[in-house]
Chains A and B, each alone.
Chain A
Amino acid sequence: MSTACEDLQPFLDGSLSAEDQRRVRGHLATCDVCARRFHDLLQLEMLARLALEDPAESERWVSARQARETVPGSWDDDVPENWPGDVLATQVPPPPDREGRAWHQGARRFRRRCPGCANCCPWFAKTEAVEAVSAPRLPCPRTSRSGGTLMRPRTRR
């Protein structure tokens, strides 16, 4: 690995000296690994410059995220909409300002305990709505928990 391998980003940003630029160009011509990394950098660069040229548009996404963060359980897109709201929140009530985030972390912990078993985690599948709550409570083959205590519809705060 040449020192040029570490300079790809400053090179792309045009912040290298003329001498170093020449060195990186010469290196890119011969090093496949760096050429591949540079390809990814270029793709991201083009996409970002096109997508972010309008500040108002990116601002919209930031406010959307901030709005989402204040809704418990929806901090991350990975957390199903109808995740049971009171299961973990009763263990450690999160401070109001961190509620969304804490909720998400709680969801992660929960999911690790029960890796996606449809029997005890009706909320795991995004497509299954609240009806899943009344689904037959078969024992979970992985953890042998019936999930009875979890089978409550999520309460929104």
Chain B
Amino acid sequence: MVPGREEPPVREGSGGEFAAFAIRHQPVLVAIARNVCGKSASDCDDLVQDVLLRALLQWERLKRWPEPARRAWLVRVLHNRFLDQCRRQGAETDRRVDLHNVHMLFEDPEDAPEPEQWECVTEDELRQAVARLNEKLRQAFELHARGLRHAEIARRMNTPSAGTVGTWLFHARRRLKAMLHDTAERRRQERER
């Protein structure tokens, strides 16, 4: 939680648990959806709503999962729904969920065919990996993760070009992915032993 931001009251019980989950993830989903959906505010809203609705319908199952697995599931849904949206835009066939095809919400193609590395990477492990990046990459990546645009990151880091920030982010992501892959792989081997 960002200091100063009031945490909304959350009810007890499983409804309250879902509310807490949705309140934490919704702003991030919106931020990402805004970047990738383009100008269309309704596409962005539809996408986020669709994702959270599916999470609500699956909550009885999801709530028993460890946090990283739940987060990875949410991203899979986001990705699948987003690709759906991209295909719709190309083909003009509307597969939007409405009262006529609400059953689609219960079909659950979002389970990964095999476990993916992201299902076991924790937030602490990500913070640890970020701390190991070199200074420039780390700063750029942290500012980006807080929602700043390339140009604003460039300004804060006294760099003339937003393109340089893009390059830093590119390398930061590559390093992080490699480090987290190693972490996940080590954990998997420990588990198998």
Contacts and interface: CB of A to CB of B under 8 A. Distances in A.
A42 interface: yes
A52 B142 contact: yes
B127 A14 contact: no
Chain B contact residues, majority secondary structure: helix
B158 interface: no
A48 B166 CA distance: 16
A148 B176 CA distance: 39
A13 B150 contact: yes
Contacts, number: 137
A28 B84 CA distance: 10
Contacts of A55: 142, 146
Contacts of A11: 35-36
B83 interface: yes
A27 B55 CA distance: 27
Contacts of A15: 149-150, 162, 166
Interface string B128-150: 10111000001001101111011
A44 interface: yes
A9 B39 CA distance: 18
How many A residues touch the partner, as a band? 35 or more
A92 interface: no
A43 B86 contact: no
Given A15-B149, A52-B142, A46 B89 contact: no
Chain A contact residues, majority secondary structure: helix
20 contacts: A9-B166, A13-B166, A22-B38, A25-B85, A26-B86, A26-B90, A28-B86, A29-B83, A43-B116, A44-B118, A44-B177, A46-B78, A47-B71, A49-B32, A51-B130, A52-B126, A52-B145, A54-B1, A61-B128, A65-B131
Given A29-B86, A43-B116, A46-B28, 4 more contacts: A14-B149, A25-B38, A40-B177, A47-B121
Interface of B: 1-3, 24-25, 28, 31-32, 34-36, 38-39, 71-72, 74-76, 78-79, 83, 85-87, 89-90, 116, 118, 121, 123-124, 126-128, 130-132, 138, 141-142, 144-147, 149-150, 162, 166, 169-170, 173, 176-177, 180
